[in-house]
Structure formats: structure tokens, C-alpha cells
């Protein structure tokens, strides 16, 4: 939560709000500053690349080139330690009485561990989002209803641990900051349709390989979905993958508006 510039760098009228935050590891002062992030960065050289990304639980994401990034599972890895700290905290709790110093110490240790997991997750998704934005001119991703998905009690913990919502926020922020296109597309049938011929190929969640009976195209299920996501993203701006490479990013920027906004 420490900024990259001293607060004296900014004019007083740029500071719009000041908040004092109480975190598990101490207090922080947060200054909200009115600033166009695009004015603080050097423009990136266009890469002439576009990618679609499919997020998941086994792999954090798979892109349309087939690159895979594993889920770090920070919460799952820390779960045993968190449970131990929670039990210690619970043992020191005295119902209906003033809590002891030992209880407050145990509560703070438990809260600090949760905060550490949260920060690890945020740093991870932040670095992945920045890498994607810097290496592509257009990034297409699914407009998932994550609030609805976490209502599934079997998947809620894993989805929260993956950090999809935070990842999307950083992806859109960096896209705006560096002038790259980030496009949210409908997730409808991205996993079921064949990216080669467009025919629907029904498959269960346990089926990890896409095999099309219509055109014999075979690929990893997640990469097939990422290719469909990319095609949807490009079609929303009136391009195919081939002529995107030919005309590049600048031809798309005129009159374009992110449908997710």
C-alpha cells in the first residue's frame, strides 16, 4: 500500500479523499488522487498481437497460444495453518467476558495470516495482468458472473482463492493505463463450440480434451475455449485474427468502446 511517489509530488487540489485504514498489521493512510494514469507512463510499442484467455481452477488461465499459468492456490496452501490459528483463537475466547490479551494476540496472528494470503493473491494476479497487457494489443476474456458462481458451495472456495474478480479489475486498469483493448465477451458455449469449424461439441467438465467429430480438430479444452473467446473479441471490433495482425491496434481504436463499461 506504499505508493511509488512521495505525497509532496502532488498538488493539494489533486488530493480528493483521505482515509485511515485499519489492517491486521497496522494502520495506513490512503490518499485518493485525481490523476489520469495514461499521463504517467511511456506509450508501449504496439505488439500487433491479440489473445484470448480462459480462466480456470486447475490452470489460472490458458491463452489462445496454448500458454498455461498454474493456479498458485495461496489459500489452499495456507489452510492448515489458518485452521490451527483459528483453533488457538477459539480456545482463548471467553463468552460473555472481557477478552484476554492472549485472545487478542491470537486473533491478530490469525488476521495477519489471512491478510498475507490476500496480498499474495493480489500481487500474483497483478503481475499476470500487467504481463498480458504489455505483450498484447487486444485481450479478450469471458464476462463471467462470478457472484453467481460462488453460490456453488463445492466451488466457492476455489473460485475465491483463484482471484478472478481481482484479476479482471487489474486487467482493465492496466489496459486503460497503457491504451490496450480489453474486451469482455459472453461466455456462452466458449467451451462447447469447436474453434476450428464452429460446430457445438457437448462435453462434461471432466472432459479435458476437445475432439470435434465434424472436422476432426483436437485440442486442449481450455485452449479451444481461449480461441473461441479471442474470435468473439475480434468479431466485436469487426476483425479476424489475420487482418488484426495486418492492420494492427490503431485501426481498432477509432470509435471503439469497451462493451464491458
Query: What pLDDT is attached to residue 82?
Result: 96
Which backbone phi and psi does 89 adopt, to 5 degrees?
Answer: -65, -45
Q: Which candidate, 134, 120, 112, places its Cα nearest to that of 71?
A: 120
Catalytic residue, from 63, 137, 142, 161: name it: 142
Residue 63 falls in the annotated catalytic set: no
Q: What is the C-alpha to C-alpha distance for residues 237 and 127, in angstroms, rounded to an integer? A: 27
Average pLDDT, integer, range 145-173 = 94
pLDDT-derived band at 12, boundaries 50, 70, 90 = confident
In this prediction the pTM is 0.83
Grid coordinates representing 31? 490518499
pLDDT digits 0-9 by tens, 186-234: 999 999 999 999 999 999 888 899 999 999 999 999 999 999 999 999 9
Residue 142 falls in the annotated catalytic set: yes
12-26, 59-73, 203-217, 230-244: range with lowest mean pLDDT: 230-244
Catalytic residue, from 137, 161, 219, 222: name it: 222
Average pLDDT, integer, range 121-144 = 96
β-strand 68-70 against 59-63: which pairing, if any?
Answer: antiparallel
Residue 222 falls in the annotated catalytic set: yes
Average pLDDT, integer, range 61-84 = 96
Q: Enumerate the domain spans of the chain.
A: 1-35, 44-71+121-253
Average pLDDT, integer, range 168-185 = 93
Catalytic residue, from 54, 63, 137, 172: name it: 54
Higher confidence at residue 42 or residue 250?
Answer: 42
Q: What is the C-alpha to C-alpha distance for residues 114 and 108, in angstroms, rounded to an integer? A: 10
What class, spelled out in words, does domain 44-71+121-253 have in CATH?
Answer: alpha beta
Largest CA distance in the chain: 72
Q: What is the mean pLDDT of the chain?
A: 88
SS3 labels along the chain: CCCCCCHHHCCHHHEEEEEEEEECCEEEEEEEECCCHHHHCCCCCCCCCEEEEEECCCEEEEECCCCEEECCCHHHHHHHHHHHHHHHHHHCCCCCCCCCHHHHHHHHHHHHHHHHHHHHHHHHHHHHHHHHHHHCCEEEEECCCHHHHCCCCCCHHHHHHHCHHHHHHHHHHHHHHHCCEEEEECCCCCCCECCCCCCECCCCCCCCEEECCCCCCEEEHHHHHHHHHHHHHHHHCCCCHHHHHHHCCHHHHCCCCCCCC
Residue appearing with cell numbers 482463548: 92
Q: Which candidate, 204, 163, 183, places its Cα nearest to that of 75?
A: 163
pLDDT digits 0-9 by tens, 117-130: 999 999 999 999 99
pLDDT digits 0-9 by tens, 93-112: 999 899 999 999 999 999 99
* pLDDT for residue 47 is more than 70: yes
Amino acid at each position: 500500500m506504499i505508493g511509488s511517489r512521495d505525497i509532496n509530488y502532488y498538488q493539494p487540489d489533486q488530493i480528493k479523499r483521505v482515509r485511515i485504514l485499519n489492517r491486521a498489521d497496522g494502520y495506513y493512510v490512503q490518499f485518493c488522487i485525481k490523476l489520469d494514469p495514461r499521463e504517467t507512463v511511456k506509450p508501449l510499442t504496439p505488439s500487433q498481437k491479440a489473445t484470448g484467455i480462459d480462466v480456470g481452477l486447475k490452470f489460472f488461465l490458458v491463452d489462445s497460444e496454448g500458454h498455461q499459468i498454474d493456479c498458485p492456490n495461496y489459500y489452499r496452501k495456507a489452510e492448515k495453518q489458518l485452521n490451527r490459528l483459528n483453533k488457538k483463537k477459539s480456545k482463548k475466547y471467553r463468552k460473555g467476558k472481557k477478552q484476554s490479551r492472549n485472545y487478542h494476540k491470537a486473533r491478530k496472528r490469525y488476521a495477519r495470516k489471512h491478510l498475507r494470503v490476500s496480498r499474495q493473491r493480489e500481487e500474483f494476479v497483478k503481475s499476470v495482468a500487467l504481463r498480458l497487457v504489455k505483450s498484447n494489443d487486444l485481450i479478450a476474456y469471458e464476462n463471467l458472473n462470478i457472484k453467481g458462481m460462488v453460490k456453488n458451495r463445492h466451488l466457492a472456495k476455489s473460485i475465491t482463492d483463484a482471484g478472478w474478480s481481482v484479476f479482471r479489475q487489474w486487467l482493465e486498469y492496466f489496459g486503460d493505463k497503457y491504451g490496450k483493448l480489453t474486451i469482455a465477451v459472453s461466455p456462452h458455449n466458449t467451451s462447447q463450440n469447436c474453434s476450428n469449424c464452429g460446430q457445438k461439441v457437448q462435453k462434461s467438465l471432466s472432459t479435458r480434451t476437445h475432439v470435434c467429430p465434424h472436422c476432426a480438430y483436437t485440442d486442449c479444452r481450455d485452449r479451444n475455449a481461449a480461441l473461441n473467446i479471442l474470435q468473439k473479441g475480434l468479431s466485436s471490433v469487426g476483425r479476424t485474427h489475420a487482418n488484426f495482425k495486418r492492420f494492427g491496434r490503431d485501426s481498432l481504436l477509432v470509435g471503439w468502446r469497451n462493451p464491458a463499461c
